[in-house]
Amino acid sequence: MQKRHVWSSSLTYILTTAGATIGFGATWRFPYLVGQNGGGAYVVTFIIAMLIVGIPMILVENVIGRRAHKNSLDAYDGYGSKWWKIVGVLGLIGCFGIIGYYMVLGGWVITYIVNIFTGALNLSAPITKELTNSFYNINIEHSPWMISLYTIVFILINWFILAKGLSDGVERAMKFLMPLLFICLIAIVIRNVTLPGAGEGIKFYLKPDFSKITPALFIAVLGQVFFALSLGFGVMITLSSYLSKSENLLKTSLITGIINTVVALLAGFMIFPSLFSFGLAPDSGPKLVFEVLPIVFSHMHFGSVIAIFFFLLLIVAALTTSITLYEVLVTVVCEKFKMTRKRSSTIVLSVLFVLGNIPCIMAYGPWASVRILGFNIFDAFDYISGNIFFVITAFGSAIFVGWVMKKTAKEELASGLKGRYGWVVSIWYHYVKFIIPIIILVIFIFGIKDLF
């Protein structure tokens, strides 16, 4: 049997897991949720949720993955009942769901980059909300062929990296993409916090109104933590399956959670100071990045250049996540069907394009009348994967670690700690066994309550 690949260093693993947890979750979803939910109140709640749920759940998936040294489906095997593989199957379905619309978001971002670069979306002079709304309707919602083309471009970039394998493809890409992401992020943050009137945006972002911190907000934030950390769809299990037994899981999990939080916070500094500087509302929802920020850029000197820089940052962040999402499915196909990386990558990306990406592209145009649980296809992929499959998979993983792996889970986490922090291992295990499943159940019930 061929020996399983192991990460070349702790740094490459940390960069890859950090990349997996950044993406649109930190750079697109987090800022608009902050804007919709009272600014600083959401930020404080997010940090708390990261500590009490995010990091413990990263450890859950890391323990499962490294212990098995297998793909995210077979990782649940070997503990008596094969029914536990259902948890892995649900994770794969959820992964399919998020890739279905995630790659299309990448196509949207590339659309903006191309149109700003060519001048079709001219940001050299101030523009209005009506213009950005019209551009979005024409070029995003009602241009399925063009969006398909740009989505394919984004998919091909992923294929090129994935087909080269873990060492020559994923590791090498992350070593380049993650530093590039941070450079772009810091540059835009510096530009925006120095704008006239930016202080009001910073105040909105950092000064919490504690009256807005409600149980409903806290539960909603917990859902964002799951989304932001790529929990519940096999990413962490797959990536940690390539870890050596000497790796300190406690350290890597803490670093992953910290990096995700820092990037999400920086993304806020990238957006809110500029919104308040030009008197724009922060509560525009999912279209904040696509319809409101171009207005901001049009009021800046060299606005088109800054806008291109910003959307390039988004596509780099999206790429660091999409690579790891695909890696989950590519690894399963590789190992289950004994295929080469290139062939399995080609099959996975092609099938997902036909069954996932095309329906999501058509959701705003030709198939706009199609409704699933009251949502269009694009939003249904997001809702079902994020509120049902991911949460159920995370719940199953916590139960699996606490009630099936038991002592094995504690031994796996202790491996690499060199006999230290035994008390941390014990607290984590009992917390995962008794508390985390209850928290996840509450998130699940809250997430689907609108269906009834």
Which residues on adjacent β-strands are paired with residue 437?
A: none
Provide the b/e sequence for 79-101 (b: ≥16 CB within 10 Å): eeeeebeebbebbbbbbbbbbbb
Look at residue 3 in the predicted model and tell me its pLDDT.
63
Is pTM beyond 0.85? Reply is: yes
Task: Tell me the per-residue pLDDT of 122-161, one tens digit each, with 9 for 90 and over.
Answer: 999 999 999 999 999 999 999 999 999 999 999 999 999 9
211 class by beta-carbon count within 10 Å (0-12 exposed, 13-18 middle, 19+ buried): exposed
Look at residue 73 in the predicted model and tell me its pLDDT.
95
- Asked if 349 and 259 count as a contact pair (C-beta separation under 8 A), the reply is no
CATH architecture of the domain with range 10-451: Orthogonal Bundle (1.10)
How far, CA to CA in Å, does 443 sit from each of 30, 302, 438?
Answer: 17, 44, 9
Q: Which two tokens stand for residue 411?
A: 């031994």
Distance CA 186, CA 222 (A): 27
How far, CA to CA in Å, does 231 sit from each of 386, 418, 426, 444?
Answer: 10, 27, 22, 14
Domain boundaries, the chain: 10-451
Q: Consecutive sets of 10 residues in the chain, 452 residues long: mean pLDDT of each?
A: 75 91 86 89 93 95 95 90 93 96 97 96 93 95 96 98 92 92 90 92 92 84 86 95 92 92 90 90 85 92 92 94 96 95 97 98 93 94 89 95 96 89 93 96 84 70
- Asked if 237 and 61 count as a contact pair (C-beta separation under 8 A), the reply is yes
Task: Tell me the per-residue pLDDT of 238-257, one tens digit each, with 9 for 90 and over.
Answer: 999 999 988 999 999 999 99
Give the type of residue at 10. S
Distance CA 311, CA 141 (A): 18
